[in-house]
């Protein structure tokens, strides 16, 4: 697992975009014409969720600092 806490916001947004594109290609690319790793979709969804959770926690922390 990649440690997302060390990356800045722009890098995380870029990684989320890449993971979402990979998930889209996994779902729709090839339309079942090739044997594929069925866990790949689940793994991509989990990684996207981890990154979005990190982004949200940073957003909440920055709002808490300003109060």
In percent, the amount of the chain with pLDDT more than 70 equals 87
Question: Residue ranges per domain, the chain?
Answer: 4-66
What's the rounded Cα separation, in Å, for the pair 42 and 16? 15
What topology does CATH give the domain 4-66? Helix Hairpins (1.10.287)
- Phi and psi for 36 in degrees, rounded to 5? -140, 165
| Terminal alpha carbon distance of the chain | 34
Q: What is the pLDDT of residue 66?
A: 86
Q: What is the pLDDT of residue 32?
A: 61
Give the pLDDT confidence of 31-63 residue by residue, as tens digits.
666 657 889 999 999 999 999 999 999 999 999
Higher per-residue confidence, 30 vs 4 = 4
What's the rounded Cα separation, in Å, for the pair 30 and 23? 13
| Mean pLDDT estimate for the chain | 89
């Amino acid at each position: 697992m990649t440690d997302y806490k060390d990356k800045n916001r722009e890098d995380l947004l870029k990684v989320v975009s890449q993971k979402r594109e990979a998930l889209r290609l996994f779902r729709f690319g090839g339309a079942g014409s090739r044997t594929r790793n069925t866990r790949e979709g689940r793994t991509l969804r989990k990684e996207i969720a981890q990154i979005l959770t990190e982004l949200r926690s940073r957003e909440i922390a920055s709002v808490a600092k300003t109060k």
